A and B are shown apart, each in its own frame.
Chain A
Amino acid sequence: MADAGAGIANGSVPKLRAEGLCKTYPSAGGPGDVAALRDVEFEVGAGEFVSIVGPSGCGKSTLFSIIAGLIRPSAGNVLLDGSEPKQLLGEIGYMLQRDLLMPWRTVLDNTTVGLELNGVSRRKARRRALDEFERFGLTGFERHWPAKLSGGMRQRAALLRTFLAGRQVMLLDEPFGALDALTRQRMQEWLLDIWQEDSKTIVFVTHDVEEAVFLSDRVHVMSGRPGRIVLSLEVDLPRPRNPQVTMTEKFLGLKQRLMEPLEEAIGPPGKREA
């Protein structure tokens, strides 16, 4: 493998592998194509928590849509457990910054939608969801309309919907991006708890380096357009982690190393896009 940093430590088959992913879009007004992704390559081991950080517009969302199977790459493959699935769409859990809860369904019925779509009866689906409501901090809000929930609760409900769908790999695209700092901190700790209990494989997109380091086993930095991975770092901080870890020298050192290529990608402050 060309990118040594992107490999996983042990020699086993990775849960998820992105192989030379490229995506170009036909340009809207001018000649030539616009390259959104160039040769993106990384691996995620089973049960790993991997983050991808990058400036806005670096193609993170394109990358996610490809891995989720929503759009096809111009080149490259996505492998699950070492082989290319017949159909990628539907094999991977997916959650965005916007909670996308359906306003016409109660909180409970929003969380069960993935189960329902997989043929689980409404009764069974509700029972399974209710079992998780406490852990997801949603107890007492089962019959509420989503509009009445706080931002943090809405994200937890959205995450529960993704969890209950039962995919082993989950893509979380800036799930806490719209939350205030304090709620965000709590949600990060809570997510780590959930992840450790359930041994899911998580790919997490964020533009917040601190969030990425705090949560992940490994962090990949993407450059600006066309997006490609310019740095991959192992985060060998002990787990379970608590917020104090963000004050340690090691944490700050990792953060520093990740910031450098990121700042390069964004450019000097004067030229930064709004």
Chain B
Amino acid sequence: MATAGSVMGLGRRARPRGPASIGRRLGRAAKGALPPLVFAAIALGLWQLYATVSGVSSATLPKPTEIAKALVEERSLLLENAWVTIEEILLGFGLAIVVGIILAVLIRSSRIIERAIYPWLVASQMVPIPAIAPLIVIWTGFDLRPKVIVIALVCFFPITVNAIDGLRAADPELLNLLKTLRAGRWQRFRKAQLPAALPFIFSGLKVGAAFSVIGAVFAEWVGSSEGLGYLILLLNNQTATTAMFAVIVVLAAIGIGLFLLVRLLEHLALPWYYEGRGEEPEGLGIDTGQS
């Protein structure tokens, strides 16, 4: 490409970076990861000690080492079912993102729509999902659909609410300025309202990501013959506590993985949000992102 911009290194990707910044960032990440890892090690050590000394049966409280062993031994069973659950989560979460953001845009686009929809949106969160999940199964069957719908129901709300707040965040004076530059409604949305909303939307996505795993387990409990949630039910019936713990570990890993994925996307999508402040949030990224 021989555009003026790229010749001069002004392409969108060529963001300025301090020279030592990658090394420094890695160092900071390592430093940030240390406290939670040490804490986890201590907690697991105490757990192991208690389970060993007290002689509690592994059907009640298995030792961490036994859980680790189960993770390795049952890996094919776990993986097989993990894929099912991951697929449900990705589809459900994806649906929640699409629906959540479309709802937010609709609500922000007109007062009448806002008044008509918003109260019902809040009311929808008062309906216990466990109560309507069986209905969804009755309506849609035992396949992927009810799981995707339940997961989407569980996690669209934080996405929508944050997106609504975000779409309010654009400075009204900036919108006026854009009007004087002859920006139409769509251009004002694309150039100002949407970028201003993105940090909020990502906050909603992070909460939604955490909820999605809960949604998946629940959806599988209501009606499923595979997946990690189903596996928990099955193992519970067999009092296979150690294997249940192994499933929980995998579920937690999926949740954390999804959360970190959202955070990674956030950093890629919002370089200005982090670099512009010259301050990177510390830690593994399990924090809320606010500092």
Contact = CB atoms under 8 A, between A and B. Distances in A.
A6 B181 CA distance: 29
A145 B182 contact: no
A89 B180 contact: yes
Interface in A111-167: 113-114, 117-118, 122-123, 126-127, 130, 142-148, 165
Interface string B7-28: 0111000111000000000000
A98 B173 contact: yes
B276 A117 contact: no
A100 B173 contact: yes
B183 A102 contact: no
Contacts, number: 82
B183 A126 contact: no
A90 B195 contact: no
Interface residues of B, number: 33
Contact of B10 (A93, A114, A126): A126
A148 B246 CA distance: 48
A87 to B, nearest CB: 9
A96 to B, nearest CB: 6
Q: Interface on chain B toward A: helix, strand, loop, or mixed SS?
A: helix
B179 A90 contact: yes
Interface in A61-77: 65, 68-70
B181 A96 contact: no
Contacts of B90: none
A127 B4 contact: yes
Interface in B128-153: none
Interface in B1-59: 3-5, 8-10, 14-16
B3 A70 contact: no
Given A103-B272, A143-B15, A126 B179 contact: no
B180 A94 contact: yes
Nearest to B174: A100
A219 interface: no
Interface of A: 65, 68-70, 89-90, 92-96, 98, 100, 102-105, 108, 113-114, 117-118, 122-123, 126-127, 130, 142-148, 165
Nearest 4 Cβ contacts at the A-B interface = A90-B182, A147-B276, A145-B276, A94-B180
